[in-house]
């Protein structure tokens, strides 16, 4: 079987994003939620690289991909910091135990 490389990358993008969304739906552990968010954004980074390859504008695509990585790392750090605080104050990382605000 001889798949073209862009097609393989597209599959990788879709599977990364799909795994991320699946995890977000079914996990209740805060650390895993942050990991799921990271998976989705890794899919985004690959999507940018792929898009840059398709339109022959790799330099712009890579600039954007690197910026996304930086911004996303900050979000992950904040998410983990919140998780630490939540663990300190409620003694649990479970999102269900945390849901006290009513609808």
**By the criterion CB under 8 A, which residues form the site for other proteins?**
17, 24, 30, 33, 37, 40-41, 43-44, 47-48, 50-52, 54-57, 60-61, 64, 67-68, 71, 74-75, 78-79, 82-83, 85-86, 89-90, 95, 98-101, 103
- CB nearer other proteins, residue 1 or residue 88: 88
Tokens 């690197």 locate to 66
Beta-bridge partners for 29 = 94
- CB nearer other proteins, residue 12 or residue 40: 40
- CB nearer other proteins, residue 2 or residue 56: 56
Nearest to 54 by CA among 4, 3, 90, 12: 4
Tokens 């001889």 locate to 2
Give the shortest CB-51-to-other proteins separation in angstroms.
4
What does the radius of gyration of the chain's CA atoms come to, in whole angstroms? 17
Tokens 């911004």 locate to 71
Q: What are phi and psi of 102, to 5 degrees?
A: -85, 165
Give the shortest CB-2-to-other proteins separation in angstroms.
23
- CB nearer other proteins, residue 2 or residue 20: 20
């Amino acid at each position: 079987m001889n798949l073209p490389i862009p097609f393989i990358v597209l599959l990788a993008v879709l599977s990364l994003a799909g795994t991320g969304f699946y995890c977000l739906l079914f996990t209740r552990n805060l650390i895993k939620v942050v990991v799921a968010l990271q998976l989705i954004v890794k899919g985004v980074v690959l999507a940018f690289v792929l898009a840059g390859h398709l339109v022959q504008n790799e330099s712009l695509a890579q600039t954007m991909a690197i910026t996304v990585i930086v911004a996303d790392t900050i979000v992950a750090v904040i998410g983990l910091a919140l998780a630490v605080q939540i663990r300190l104050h409620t003694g649990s990382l479970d999102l269900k135990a945390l849901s006290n605000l009513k609808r």
